A and B are shown apart, each in its own frame.
Chain A
Amino acid sequence: MWRYMGRKLGIYGITFVVAVTINWMIPRFMPGDPVSSMLNRASVSDPEALERMNTYYNEVFGLDTPLYQQYLSFWSGLLRGDLGISVWLYPEPVTDIILRHIPFTLGLLLPAIILSWIVGNRFGAFAARSKILDNTVLPLGYILTATPYMWLALLLAWALGVVGGFFPTAGGYSFALTPSWSWPFISNLLTHWFLPFLSMFLVALGGWAIGMRNMIIYELEADYSNYLQALGAPRRLIRRYAFRNAMLPQITGLAVQLGTIIAGALLTEIVFNYPGLGTLVLNSLNNNDFFLLQGIFLFVVVGVLIANFIIDIIYVLVDPRTRVQMTGGAS
């Protein structure tokens, strides 16, 4: 058990190191002097500020020191939680900016992932019931997964927002309101949240439904299903077993799909101008704020790694086979 977890943690550790290294390498190995090209493009008007920024970033990059030293100081800064200072919102630290936006992204992501997974699984199992359902639900699922996140977001915003007028189509909450734990603010927050959530939920739903449908067909063909049928067990029991067993690979699928769903969240946020990481990515790109961009990258990677580890733990808890193997069963 500990060996297995240790191995997983090892992989995640390596991934983290690789991600940090990529982050460190990209600006240094791209052609040109990163500091001047960044600041040139950033179009800062105040010359004094520009001078201060120039000094600061040159020091941070430390381009005159040997490479390994640059690398080490990059790490030491990182471990102190220092991701540098934003160009766009100078002189605010990148970490603070990101932390301010993360709750919005998480608020979209977590419900969208969890609900789409649960509903998608039910839906897929339902589709495997008959040929007719299979032939209608399945293509729908494939169309949904093939939809670019931002396009479904646009369609929903247009249909339910612009034309229907049921929901607002931009921002995380109305600018007229100040954030507080009051009912009007929360309901306002929810109406802004709903459309981005819905579009993410729908796209992710298709994938889960298809995955479950394929897995459950496989399980219904398995020997134990056959045997139970031969002993006259009712379809209900066999389906229950198959559903449960088909869920297990779906949990692993959750880990594999995380990256795609997060990407979807970023794109969806841009459509709705939702104040999460996605909009922040767009802003940092438009302002050539690479510190901010790289900071977001690291945060996302760490988030994915943590989520992966949680999924691993859940899997071990749910699948008796891995549990047995880890504690050293009889066979």
Chain B
Amino acid sequence: MLELSHVHKVYRVGAFGGARLRAVRDVNLTVEPGEVVSLIGESGSGKSTIGKMVLGLTGVSSGQILFEGNDVSRIRGFSAKKEYYRRVQGVFQDPFSSFNPIFKADRVFEMIRSSYFPATSDADWRQKVLDAIGTVRLDPGNVLDKYPHQLSGGQLQRLLIARALLLDIKLLVADEIISMLDASTRIDVLNLLADLKERGLGILFVTHDLSLGNYVSDRSVILRKGAIAEMGPTRAVFENPMHPYSRHLLSCVPQLHRTWTEVDEELAANPPEDVVLPTVGEDDDSAPLTEVEKGHFVGIDQH
């Protein structure tokens, strides 16, 4: 459904584009209907840039982003973009920044209505909104007709998911949507994503938190400095990480029942086998992947 092939993003920084900053490097990945794909990486890995490119909020330097066969990065014109957003929607990291603080929170629904459903009657629209709010397991009485700061972060994020569900979307880009939520509410939002997946939605889940990526996704992509380090079925990537960077990341994640010392000892006791990583020349911008087992890829090593 969504296919990124050889996508690059280069920013020109400094006055008159003096220096180049390679934010995304030769990324290839796909998202199928009913699949959650996690994009995992530290700051500067390019994970959010990929999300923004898929949403058409920032341009692609080279490469293609195909959505149902059409190249998204080449969409020109307001109405074509508007049609694209009928099928693909996003939710962002900061719930409090996603709502314009001077308006009531449910204005996000009205914006969808005025753009996409101008002909729908008030009653039908109200029913549609109530359905969407029900789907994200919110009580309409608690969330409608309220200002953003009267609601919790978790409620706001679920409202935004409900907003996306008003449209006939096929793909949802969820960019760090729970990183600002408290522990007690973030799991509900994650579970919601899992429910939506059941309904056939494809989800691109961008996160810096390995345990969250692991919890919800079918496939995981670990990014480093804009390029894919490792990609594969979530279970394979987490239980048998092949790339030294993935292994390093996993050894640094604070875990709930295992201390770092225990992880280190375990690793020392059963040192993982080494895999041969693909290599590229100095000036080569590409980042090839090697398939180490079925559907499980490793990428180049960068320092």
For chain B, residues 14 to 40, give those with C-beta under 8 angstroms from any C-beta of chain A.
14-16, 18
- Least CB separation from B19: chain A residue: A328
- Least CB separation from A8: chain B residue: B15
Give Cα distance in the complex from A4 to B18, angstroms.
11
- Least CB separation from A6: chain B residue: B15
- Least CB separation from B15: chain A residue: A7
- Chain B residues with Cβ below 8 Å from A4 are 15
- Chain B residues with Cβ below 8 Å from A3 are 14-16, 18
7 examples of A-B residue contacts, CB within 8 angstroms? A3-B14, A3-B15, A3-B16, A3-B18, A4-B15, A7-B15, A7-B16
Closest 7 CB pairs of A and B: A7-B15, A3-B18, A3-B15, A4-B15, A7-B16, A3-B14, A3-B16
Number of interface residues of B (CB under 8 A): 4
Question: Which B residues contact A (CB, under 8 angstroms)?
Answer: 14-16, 18
**Interface SS of A by simple majority:** helix
Give Cα distance in the complex from A3 to B15, angstroms.
8
- Least CB separation from A328: chain B residue: B19
For chain A, residues 1 to 32, give those with C-beta under 8 angstroms from any C-beta of chain B.
3-4, 7
**Interface SS of B by simple majority:** loop
Give the shortest distance, in Å, between B59 (CB) and chain A (any CB). 25
Give Cα distance in the complex from A258 to B15, angstroms.
25
Give Cα distance in the complex from A237 to B18, angstroms.
39
- Least CB separation from B16: chain A residue: A7
- Chain B residues with Cβ below 8 Å from A7 are 15-16
Give Cα distance in the complex from A7 to B18, angstroms.
12
- Chain A residues with Cβ below 8 Å from B18 are 3
- Least CB separation from A7: chain B residue: B15
Give Cα distance in the complex from A7 to B17, angstroms.
12
Give the shortest distance, in Å, between B205 (CB) and chain A (any CB). 30
Give Cα distance in the complex from A3 to B16, angstroms.
9
Give the shortest distance, in Å, between A331 (CB) and chain B (any CB). 12
Give Cα distance in the complex from A4 to B16, angstroms.
10
- Chain A residues with Cβ below 8 Å from B15 are 3-4, 7
- Chain A residues with Cβ below 8 Å from B16 are 3, 7
- Chain A residues with Cβ below 8 Å from B14 are 3
Give Cα distance in the complex from A7 to B14, angstroms.
11
Give the shortest distance, in Å, between B72 (CB) and chain A (any CB). 33
- Least CB separation from A4: chain B residue: B15
Give Cα distance in the complex from A4 to B15, angstroms.
8
Give Cα distance in the complex from A79 to B168, angstroms.
68
Give the shortest distance, in Å, between A323 (CB) and chain B (any CB). 15
Give the shortest distance, in Å, between B192 (CB) and chain A (any CB). 36
Give Cα distance in the complex from A73 to B14, angstroms.
38
Give Cα distance in the complex from A96 to B153, angstroms.
72
Give Cα distance in the complex from A264 to B10, angstroms.
48
Give Cα distance in the complex from A130 to B82, angstroms.
55
Give the shortest distance, in Å, between B232 (CB) and chain A (any CB). 34
Give Cα distance in the complex from A3 to B17, angstroms.
11
Give the shortest distance, in Å, between A286 (CB) and chain B (any CB). 46
Give the shortest distance, in Å, between A29 (CB) and chain B (any CB). 33
Give the shortest distance, in Å, between A207 (CB) and chain B (any CB). 30
Give the shortest distance, in Å, between B168 (CB) and chain A (any CB). 45
Give the shortest distance, in Å, between B64 (CB) and chain A (any CB). 33
Give the shortest distance, in Å, between B293 (CB) and chain A (any CB). 39
Give Cα distance in the complex from A7 to B15, angstroms.
8
Encoded as 1 (CB less than 8 Å from any B CB) or 0, chain A from 295 to 317 comes to 00000000000000000000000
Give the shortest distance, in Å, between B151 (CB) and chain A (any CB). 29
Give the shortest distance, in Å, between A210 (CB) and chain B (any CB). 29
For chain A, residues 208 to 259, give those with C-beta under 8 angstroms from any C-beta of chain B.
none
Give Cα distance in the complex from A286 to B266, angstroms.
94
Give Cα distance in the complex from A4 to B14, angstroms.
9
Give Cα distance in the complex from A3 to B14, angstroms.
10
For chain A, residues 31 to 46, give those with C-beta under 8 angstroms from any C-beta of chain B.
none
Give Cα distance in the complex from A7 to B16, angstroms.
9
Give Cα distance in the complex from A253 to B84, angstroms.
46
Give the shortest distance, in Å, between B184 (CB) and chain A (any CB). 29
Give Cα distance in the complex from A3 to B18, angstroms.
9
- Least CB separation from B18: chain A residue: A3
